[in-house]
Amino acid sequence: MTRPVAVGVTCAAVGAAVLAGGCGSVARQQQGYSSRVVPAISMQTSLGSAAGTWATLVMGGSAAQYNNFWQLFVRPAGTSTWKLVTPPGTADNGGLVLAVGSGPTAIGAFRPSQLLTFTPLIQTSDGGHAWSALSPLDAALASTPAALAVEPGSSGHLLALTSSSTAEQTSPAAAKWTALATVRTLAATPAGRQCGLRALSAAGYLPSGVPLLAGECSHPGIAGIFADHGGSWQAAGPAVPPSLAGQDVTVLRLLTAGNETVALLQAGNGHDASLFAAWSGPAAGQWTISPALGVRGAALTSASFGPAGSVAAITGGTAAVITRSARSWQYLPALPPGTATVALGTAGPADALAVHGSRLTVWQLATGGQGWTRVQVVNVPIEYGSSD
Amino acid sequence: MPGMNSGINVSDPTVVAAFRSALLHQGLIALLIFVVLGLAWLSLREFLPAAWRSAKTVPDPAPAPVLAEPSWRQVLRVGFGIIWIFDGILQAQPKMAVGLPSQVIEPVAATSPHWVQELVNWAGTSWSYHPMQAGAAAVWIQIGIGIWLLTAPRGPLSRLAGLVTVGWGLVVWVFGESFGGIFAPGLTWLFGAPGAALLYAVAGALIALPESAWRSRLPSRLLLPGVGVFLIGMAVLQAWPGRGFWQGTAHGKPGTLASMTASMAPTPQPHLLSSWITAFTGFDEAHGFAVNLFAVIALAIVGVTFLSGRPRLIRPVLIAFVVLSLADWVLIEDFGFFGGLGTDPNSMIPFILFATAGYLALVAAPEPAAEPAAAAATAPAGLAGWRSRLRAALAPGALASARLDSVAAVGAIGVIILGAVPMAAAQASPVADTILAQSVDGSNAPLDFAAPAFQLTDQHGRQVSLASLHGKVVLLTFLDPVCTSDCPLIAQEFKQAGQLLKADTQRVELVAIVANPVDYQLGYTQAFDQQEGLTGVRNWLYLTGSLSALQRVWRDYGIVADVEPAGAMVGHTEATFAIDQNGDVRYEMGFDPGPGTAATVSSFAAELRDTAQQLLSSS
């Protein structure tokens, strides 16, 4: 090889090596994930109803290996002891969503996991002692604790929010679900445009039986709650307090309890985020707003509702409770380790439900609210590996 | 990578036994090929009239002196011939048939770009559908190429062996080595870049050069300078900052080189070797900068020296390069063939062969052969030349007058065909081998009793009894409509079986009965059918009924369907019954779908089809 040729070939080799080196670097930099639009809402929760207080908790082991199993517990009205009443028949690794009506009926929805793509439904009318299957929802339920709602009253219609942001409604007796709205159709309505609706996060009913859908508005200072009045969706959310008017607002939860609908909302994001609750009267548009609870950037790990419309929120390992009539959020004592949710009683003390693997420990708020006392331990017979 | 992995345990005894059996059978055929060819050759030499043996079909006007095979070519041909045979033997390891796609190909491709993974996944999936044929093909093709290279020193057969080496080498490089990892981060000569199989292919291209090129300076211009340029490029790459080679450790973790060698140490191998690797890993962690500096300088010096074209300079550097390559082979590449799934001795031996051949091409001038000119060497050129060679090869005395190594080369081609033809035939079928299903659940259990009657409701709300299916073969299974793992896979196996049955579809009914004592209502069978795309399958029935009716059927067929506590799935027996046209249960098939990969689903579907067709043909 002549010298010029050798030099040229060497340069080509060096160039190729440089390119190869560059390619390697690029490949490493291409990793990354898009952020979620709606804040992830934990499905660990507690709900008060006429039958008692319910709690859905995730227990067991790794979700990646399908060893996480969602459990349903109930503290029957008038008692202080929790019972395991997880509905049978379906693997619930995808999550368990509970909806309670005004009566004793509670309906459980198994969010699909692995190869299952639709949502089995099951109901109880005796506090979880006996369960009977309902016709399934023909789609995957959205991953939010407010994805399923039961209409108050006797008709018992169900409203479900699917993972494709479609709201579907049916009656328990009917096998067919009917689409009520999608995030796209709702966003195209005058009320949706005013809010700049980005995503749906909750479904519910007004005490009068009017379906409600709620989500996240891109226009600041607007709480995106919409009521279906005969096929026409209208804004039904509360007026956001002036101090939060510049913030984006997301509805995290909706629940109808007695004669009121309760909503938990988040204003702002990150370090400026705060939570506030809202209580409606029987009709839409009349809301009572709570003071804001600053969360200093901490994520909401659980929100729960008491039977009298009280709301508890756990953020950053701290729990705070508020009622419609209260002027401020009341902080609870430091939570016991592993607390997944706080269950509120009708008038009695709150329970902190702590999970360690397959063991549930119930801690009761001591009289005077100074600390927690361990009152019960429930060992759950989890079948590890059964969903492989 | 979906599909690539058959999901079967690489040491599964059923698969291993079947692989051994396939290799044994094909090995006997390979032996037979050589024996027959040898006997034919000996017989013809013994019994054919001498006049025929010496007959020439091509005039030989002026016997010209011919070149002996140059030493550089001999090194490449013999060296790579031995390596191919060694690789072929490695492919015969018991874990190879099932393990190659999932344990070798997939991890190699994992760091490459998506398009590489897609390409490799296609090949891996094809392999995993027919692991016996693919595994055996790799054995015989590689052994055949090796024998061919060793036994064909010159002439068209020898050049053809080079071209076949190029072809198969590229196949292995692309699909087996994911392009030698050249598109993945962390490319380095130390780990074997640009992939051993690419070096095989390049060697094949050099072996395939016409004999006229042997006299030219082309080999001396191509070989050693080519290696030199490549090594200089690798030196630059090795020196490139930000690739983790300059650090022995980074943020408390081993650097790129140390983590690579650390991952090699646990490979099953003699303790002495793993202790060397471990020691080198520790050394690199402590002196990462120095190790990389040495590698960069060494590669650069060797590369530049190889480019210089000065034999006196090159000779000591070549020796040093051989030592460096052997050290890399032992301490970094860990030989490449341990652990039960090693496919080749990696790239360092090929590099040594290239450098040695390049040196010989530079210093050794072509010499005339002492042997007489072969007819091929003096035949006319071009198409006319090929025609005359073909005529000569087909002449009655051709075999008798052939040399023994030429006969062996023809035998080697036979061995390649022996591997390639069954694989090609298998690949033509989109259905996986039933050996996968058998490895999961064993063989069908033969039975012979009247199938218990039932009357249930199908997914359309119509009443269906077993008696109403009389005259058809019924494949009956039990499925939980809200099952999250196995039942959807079994449903897909039935669906695929329906497609495979083609014209027989009308004579076979695919029947499932609900196996869930909670979610057994019609809405669940309908939702399941929708989920699995079964609504359009004409001979599919998903039956349910009252809980008492279902429980009666479960009891009659020995099916357990238990509600498990605490959010677990219903536990139920996974079995399929094959019922003949007279209503008799003829087989019970274990039907745990196992890993549920595309290959196993296809395999179970094939097993269902075969069982149904067997019953249809026996009626």
Rounded CA-CA distance B35/B32 in Å is 5
For residue A208, give how far its alpha carbon lies from the nearest alpha carbon of chain B (Å): 30
Which residues, 6 or more positions from B428, have their beta carbon under 8 angstroms from its beta carbon?
none
Cα–Cα distances (Å) from A365 to A78, A343, A353, B320, in that order, read 17, 10, 11, 78
Q: Which among B183, B240, B516 is the nearest to A21, CB-wise? A: B240
A142 and A172 Cβ atoms separated by less than 8 Å: no
Q: Which residues from chain B sit within 8 angstroms of residue A70, using beta carbons?
A: 567
Q: Which residues from chain A sit within 8 angstroms of residue B483, using beta carbons?
A: 91, 115-116
Query: Quick one: tokens of A344?
Result: 């509120």
**Are A91 and B569 a contacting pair at CB < 8 A?**
yes
Strand intervals (E) in A16-165 = 45-49, 52-60, 68-76, 83-84, 96-100, 106-110, 119-124, 132-137, 148-150, 158-161
Q: Which among A23, A381, A383 is the nearest to B183, CB-wise? A: A23
Q: Does A334 touch chain B (CB under 8 A)?
A: no
Question: How many CB atoms are located within 10 Å of the residue B393 CB?
Answer: 17
Cα–Cα distances (Å) from B346 to A121, B139, B532, in that order, read 57, 17, 45
Q: Is the ipTM of this complex over 0.85?
A: yes
Q: Which CB contacts under 8 angstroms, 24+ apart, belong to A92-96?
A: A92/B567, A93/A63, A93/A66, A93/A68, A93/A69, A93/A387, A93/B484, A93/B567, A94/B484, A95/A43, A95/A58, A95/A70, A95/A143, A96/A43, A96/A56, A96/A70, A96/A71, A96/A72, A96/B567
| DSSP bridge partners of B450 | B584
Q: What integer pLDDT is reported at residue A13 of this predicted model?
A: 44
Top residue of B182, B237, B457 to mutate, by most chain A CBs within 10 Å, is B237
Nearest to B439 by CA among B38, B4, B9: B9
**Are B243 and A115 a contacting pair at CB < 8 A?**
no
| Residue given tokens 């550097």 in the structure block | B317
Query: Quick one: tokens of A84?
Result: 């395991």
What is the mean pLDDT of each successive set of 10 residues along chain A, which is 388 residues long? 44 42 31 42 89 94 92 92 95 94 89 96 93 94 94 85 94 79 95 94 91 94 94 93 91 87 92 92 78 89 89 93 91 95 80 96 88 95 90
Phi, psi (degrees; rounded to nearest 5) at A203: -125, 150
User: In chain B, which residues have pLDDT < 50?
Assistant: 1-3, 56-58, 60, 372-379
Cα–chain center distance at B289: 38
Phi, psi (degrees; rounded to nearest 5) at B297: -65, -45
Rounded CA-CA distance A344/A350 in Å is 5
Q: Which residues from chain B sit within 8 angstroms of residue A381, using beta carbons?
A: 565-566
Q: Does A86 touch chain B (CB under 8 A)?
A: yes
Query: Quick one: tokens of B203?
Result: 């060697």
Q: What integer pLDDT is reported at residue A155 of this predicted model?
A: 75
Q: Which among B233, B235, B519 is the nearest to A90, CB-wise? A: B519
For residue B574, give how far its alpha carbon lies from the nearest alpha carbon of chain A (Å): 14
- For residue A271, the 8-state DSSP code is G
Q: Which residues from chain B sit within 8 angstroms of residue A92, using beta carbons?
A: 567
Rounded CA-CA distance B180/B158 in Å is 27
| Residue given tokens 């096929």 in the structure block | A231
Rounded CA-CA distance A293/A321 in Å is 10
Q: Summarize pLDDT for B250-284 with one digit per residue, the tens.
A: 888 889 999 989 988 888 888 899 999 999 999 99
Q: Is A212 helix (H, G, I), strand (E, B) or coil?
A: strand
Q: Summarize pLDDT for B183-205 with one digit per residue, the tens.
A: 998 899 999 999 999 999 999 99
Percentages (nearest 5) of helix, strand, coil residues in chain B = 60, 10, 30
Query: Quick one: tokens of A214?
Result: 């709620």
For residue A154, give how far its alpha carbon lies from the nearest alpha carbon of chain B (Å): 23
Q: What integer pLDDT is reported at residue A39 of this predicted model?
A: 59
Q: Is B58 helix (H, G, I), strand (E, B) or coil?
A: coil
Radius of gyration of chain B (CA): 31
A82 and A360 Cβ atoms separated by less than 8 Å: yes
Q: What integer pLDDT is reported at residue A36 of this predicted model?
A: 39
Minimal Cα distance from A24: which residue of B? B185
Nearest to A289 by CA among A263, A321, A319, A251: A263
Rounded CA-CA distance B38/B555 in Å is 65
H or E stretch covering B89: helix B71-91
